[in-house]
C-alpha cells in the first residue's frame, strides 16, 4: 500500500463558498456587486430617497418662482398671508414665526424668524449643504487617496512625514479643527476663500477628514506594493507615478467607493455643526446648519424652524449612510465590519 503516496488535491479547486450561479463568464466584480446591491431593497430604497432629495433641492428655483412666488431671502416679519379667509402676520408680536400652513403656495412649512419662507429656504439650504458635502467629499477623497498612495508607495521619509502629520490632525476633534480653520479663513481670507463663499466651509471640512482616508489607503497600498503585479510593473520599467495610478489605484477602487458615502454623510453633518456654532456658512446664505442655528435662537418658541431643517438633515444623512452600508456589503459580502 505504501506505493500510494502524496496527495491528489493539486488540481482541485480551492475550498470556498458555493460559486455564483449561472453567470456568464467574465462577469466583473462591479457587475456582481451591483447585482447584490439591487437585491438589498432597504439600501436601494434609501438610495432613491437621497436621489429624490437631491432632485428636489436642485429644483429649488422652480419652486421659489412658480409655486411659492418668493426667493429664499424675500419676506419680512410683517409680511401678511391669508389662509382660510384669515389674514395674519408671518411672525407674531413676540417674533415667533407661524408654523407649517401645509399650503404649497403660501409658506408651506411656515416662516423663519425674519419672515422668510421656510420651505423655499429648506430647498436652497439643501443645495448649499449638499454642495458643501459633495465638494468636501471630493477634496477629502482626492487628497486622501493621493497622500495615502504616496505614503504607502514611497515609504521612508515621505511616509513618515505624511503619516505623522495625519496622525496629529487625526488626534484632534474635527469640530474644533474645523472651527479654528474656518475662523482663520473667514477673518484673514486664503486666496479665493473668504467668509461669503460656501467653498470656505467645503475646503475646511474636506481638509479635516483627509486623515480618515489617508490611513486606510496607506495601509492597503503597503500590502499591495508587495504583490507580484507591482513587481512585474517595476520590472517593465514603469515609473513610480505610473505604477501608483495605473496599477495600484484600480485595486483600491472598492475601498474608495465605500468611503464616498461615508465621508459625504459626515461632511453634511459637520457643515451643520460648524454652521450651528457660527463657523460654517455665513448669513444670509441658507444651509440646513444655518437654518437650525437661526431656529434655535428663538428657542423655545417656533420649534418648527428647528424641526423642519432637522428632519431633512437627518433623513438625508441617514439615506446616505444606509445606502453606503448596503454598498459596502455588496462590494465585500464577507466583511461585516462597519469600518
Partner 1 sequence: MARFVIRRLITMVLMLIVISFVTFLLFIVALPGGNPAALIAGRLATPAEVHLISVRYGFDKPIWVQYVRTMANLFDGSAYSYQEGFNVMGAITRGAPATLSLSIGAGVFWLLSSIGLGTLAAVRSGRYTDRVLTVLSMVGVSMPPFLLGAVLIYYVSYKAGVLPINGYISFTVSPWQWFRHLIGPWITLSVLFIGFYSRVLRGSILDAQGEDYVRTARAKGLSERRVLVRHILRMSLLPIISLWGLDIAQVIGGGAILTESVWGLHGIGQLAFNAIGAFDTVTLLAIVLLTAICVVVMSALVDILYAVLDPRIRLG
Partner 2 sequence: MSEPLLQIEDLAVRFRTDEGAVRAVDGVSLSVERGEVVAVVGESGSGKSVTGMTLMGLTRGPNAEISGSARLDGRELLTMSNRELRAVRGNDIAMVFQDPMSSLNPVYRVGDQIVEQIRTHQQLSRQQAMARAVELMERVGVPRAAERLRSYPHEFSGGMRQRVMIAMALSCSPKLLIADEPTTALDVTIQAQILEELRQLRSETNAGIILVTHDLAVVADIADRVVVMYSGRVVEQGTLDELFYDPQHPYTWGLLGSITRVDSDRSARLPAIDGMPPSLLAPPPGCHFQPRCPHAFERCGEVPELSPRTPDSPGHLDRCWLEVERKRTLRLVDGQIGLAAPVRA
24 binds partner 2 (CB under 8 A): no
43 binds partner 1 (CB under 8 A): no
157 binds partner 2 (CB under 8 A): no
DSSP result, 183-199: HHHHHH-BTTB-TT-HH
* Closest to 112 (Cα-Cα) out of 76, 67, 84, 63: 76
Exactly one of 20, 66, 167, 231 binds partner 2 (CB under 8 A); which one? Answer: 20
Grid coordinates belonging to 331: 462590494
Stretch that binds partner 2, among 3-11, 120-128, 136-144, 255-263 (CB under 8 A): 3-11
Between 13 and 173, CB nearer to partner 1: 173
* Phi and psi torsions of 152, nearest 5°: -75, -35
Between 6 and 82, CB nearer to partner 2: 6
Exactly one of 49, 175, 256, 260 binds partner 1 (CB under 8 A); which one? Answer: 175
25 binds partner 2 (CB under 8 A): no
Pair 32, 39: CB distance under 8 Å: no
Exactly one of 136, 193, 269, 327 binds partner 1 (CB under 8 A); which one? Answer: 269
179 binds partner 1 (CB under 8 A): yes
Query: Which of partner 1, partner 2, none interacts with 225 (beta carbon under 5 to 8 A by kind)?
Result: none
- The binding track of 36-55 with respect to partner 2, each residue x by CB under 8 A or -, is x--x----------------
Distance of CA 296 to the CA centre of its chain: 24
Stretch that binds partner 2, among 11-19, 41-49, 102-110, 239-247 (CB under 8 A): 11-19
Pair 47, 323: CB distance under 8 Å: yes
69 binds partner 2 (CB under 8 A): no
- The binding track of 299-328 with respect to partner 1, each residue x by CB under 8 A or -, is xx--x--xx--x--xx--xx--xx--x---
Return the bridge partners of 88, or none: 81
238: burial class by Cβ within 10 Å (0-12, 13-18, 19+)?
A: middle
336: burial class by Cβ within 10 Å (0-12, 13-18, 19+)?
A: exposed
- Residue 300: is the preceding peptide bond cis (ω within 30°)? yes
- Residue 173: is the preceding peptide bond cis (ω within 30°)? no
Stretch that binds partner 2, among 4-12, 56-64, 267-275, 323-331 (CB under 8 A): 4-12
* Residue 84 neighbours by CB under 8 Å, 6+ apart: none
157 binds partner 1 (CB under 8 A): no
CB of 319 to partner 1, least distance (A): 8
Between 21 and 173, CB nearer to partner 1: 173
Pair 106, 57: CB distance under 8 Å: no
Stretch that binds partner 2, among 10-18, 54-62, 73-81, 274-282 (CB under 8 A): 10-18
Rounded to an integer, what distance in angstroms lies between the CA atom of residue 111 and that of residue 101?
9
Between 104 and 299, CB nearer to partner 1: 299
Grid coordinates belonging to 160: 513618515
Contacting residues toward partner 2, per CB under 8 A = 1-16, 18-22, 36, 39
Amino acid at each position: 500500500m505504501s506505493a500510494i503516496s502524496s496527495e491528489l488535491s493539486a488540481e482541485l479547486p480551492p475550498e470556498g463558498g458555493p460559486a455564483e450561479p449561472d453567470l456568464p463568464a467574465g462577469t466583473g466584480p462591479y457587475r456582481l456587486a451591483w447585482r447584490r446591491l439591487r437585491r438589498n431593497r432597504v439600501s436601494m430604497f434609501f438610495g432613491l430617497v437621497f436621489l429624490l432629495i437631491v432632485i428636489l433641492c436642485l429644483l429649488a428655483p422652480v419652486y421659489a418662482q412658480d409655486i411659492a412666488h418668493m426667493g429664499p431671502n424675500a419676506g419680512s416679519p410683517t409680511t401678511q398671508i391669508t389662509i382660510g379667509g384669515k389674514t395674519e402676520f408671518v411672525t407674531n408680536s413676540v417674533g415667533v414665526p407661524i408654523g407649517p400652513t401645509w399650503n404649497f403656495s403660501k409658506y408651506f412649512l411656515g416662516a423663519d424668524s425674519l419672515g422668510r419662507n421656510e420651505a423655499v429656504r429648506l430647498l436652497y439650504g439643501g443645495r448649499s449643504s449638499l454642495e458643501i458635502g459633495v465638494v468636501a467629499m471630493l477634496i477629502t477623497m482626492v487628497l486622501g487617496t493621493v497622500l495615502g498612495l504616496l505614503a504607502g508607495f514611497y515609504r521612508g521619509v515621505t511616509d513618515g512625514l505624511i503619516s505623522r502629520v495625519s496622525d496629529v490632525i487625526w488626534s484632534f476633534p474635527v469640530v474644533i479643527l474645523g472651527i479654528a480653520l474656518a475662523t482663520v479663513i473667514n477673518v484673514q481670507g486664503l486666496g479665493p476663500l473668504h467668509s461669503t463663499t460656501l467653498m470656505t466651509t467645503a475646503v475646511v471640512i474636506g481638509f479635516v477628514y483627509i486623515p480618515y482616508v489617508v490611513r486606510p489607503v496607506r495601509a492597503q497600498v503597503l500590502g499591495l506594493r508587495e504583490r507580484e503585479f507591482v513587481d512585474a510593473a517595476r520590472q517593465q520599467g514603469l515609473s513610480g507615478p505610473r505604477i501608483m495610478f495605473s496599477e495600484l489605484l484600480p485595486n483600491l477602487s472598492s475601498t474608495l467607493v465605500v468611503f464616498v458615502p461615508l465621508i459625504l454623510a459626515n461632511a453634511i453633518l459637520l457643515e451643520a455643526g460648524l454652521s450651528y456654532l457660527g463657523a460654517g456658512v455665513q448669513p444670509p446664505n441658507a444651509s440646513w446648519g444655518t437654518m437650525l442655528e437661526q431656529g434655535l435662537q428663538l428657542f423655545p418658541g417656533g420649534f418648527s424652524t428647528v424641526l423642519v431643517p432637522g428632519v431633512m438633515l437627518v433623513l438625508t444623512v441617514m439615506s446616505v449612510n444606509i445606502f453606503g452600508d448596503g454598498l459596502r456589503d455588496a462590494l465585500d459580502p464577507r466583511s461585516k465590519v462597519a469600518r
